Amino acid sequence: MAGLAMGYPMTEARGGSNPDTSTLYDINGLAKGAPGWLDRTMEFIGEYGIILGLAVLMFFAWWSLRRRQDAPAAVAALLWAPLAAGIALLVNIPIRGFVKRPRPFLDHPGLEVLVKGKTDYSFVSDHATLTMAIGVALFVANRKYGLIGIGLAVLEGFCRVYMGVHYPTDVIGGLALGTAVALLLAPLAMMLLTPLTRAVARTRAAWLVRSDRPLAPPLAAAEAPVAGTADAERGVPRHRDNDLAA
């Protein structure tokens, strides 16, 4: 236990009765005993990797959503994702200026800081805000891709605490802010963006919002072959007797 303190008082190292600080030391403490390659990997993931991963995820979502029957509306929802992230970051500017919370390593010098040179305020986390806004907006467009995006946003928050640059509540605040912006403004965004994507669908740039090979709609029940008949085996619908009599 003395080794965990790393030269500072035990009550400070564990955060005393403050769960925010104690959780910070618990998660950041993983970096102290980790090999150098793992710390460098977490540093890359936390600074750039997850954001790049979300960009790739959005590309695959765009490629898939263009094939839906309601492709322009689906692409409009996808287009909302980066816009939601940008708006959430703008909303965070006055929040940071009002709270003025220093970075955790300024008050707790024993932390293992993996990224140097962070001089701005800590609450709320820009990275957590941005990634969660994208993840939730992706969920509005498509649940499968959205769940992956939300999972990446949570991982981003963990990385920021692991790197020693944010308190856990900085991350929680960022996740909440990104979620609120993406959800609350989604109806207005869809009202504005859907007409735009529908207009693009009528131009030569239609491939941006609609694929030439859309997903085939499900076979209508009235046209489906009836099982157990020779016509069904050949894919020919069976005619009723009254139809034949007519």
| Range in 31-40, 124-133, 156-165, 214-223 with the lowest mean pLDDT | 214-223
- Asked whether the predicted pLDDT for residue 243 surpasses 80, the reply is no
What is the number of residues in the chain? 246
Instruction: Name residues whose C-beta falls within 8 Å of residue 119's C-beta, 6 or more positions apart in sequence.
Output: 103
- Asked whether the predicted pLDDT for residue 231 surpasses 70, the reply is no
Q: What is the DSSP letter of 46?
A: I
d(CA 127, CA 40): 18
- Asked whether the predicted pLDDT for residue 3 surpasses 50, the reply is no
- Asked whether the predicted pLDDT for residue 242 surpasses 70, the reply is no
pLDDT value at residue 159: 94
| Range in 1-15, 106-120, 231-245 with the lowest mean pLDDT | 1-15
Across 31-35, 84-88, 107-111, which has the greatest mean pLDDT?
A: 84-88
For residue 108, which of 176, 196, 177, 29 has the smallest C-alpha distance? 29
Alpha helices, DSSP H only, in the chain? 2-5, 10-13, 19-33, 36-44, 50-65, 71-99, 104-107, 126-141, 143-162, 168-184, 186-200, 230-233, 241-245
pTM: 0.78
Angle formed by the axes of helices 19-33 and 143-162, nearest 10°: 80
CA distances, 54 to each of 50, 57, 117, 139, 152 (Å): 6, 5, 25, 13, 8
Per-domain residue ranges for the chain?
Answer: 2-207, 219-246
pLDDT value at residue 17: 60
Hey, what CATH class is 2-207 in?
A: mainly alpha
pLDDT, the chain, mean? 82
pLDDT value at residue 75: 93
pLDDT value at residue 15: 46
pLDDT bin (cut points 50, 70, 90) of residue 135 is: very high
For residue 80, which of 212, 186, 184, 162 has the smallest C-alpha distance? 186
Average pLDDT for residues 56-64, to the nearest whole number? 94
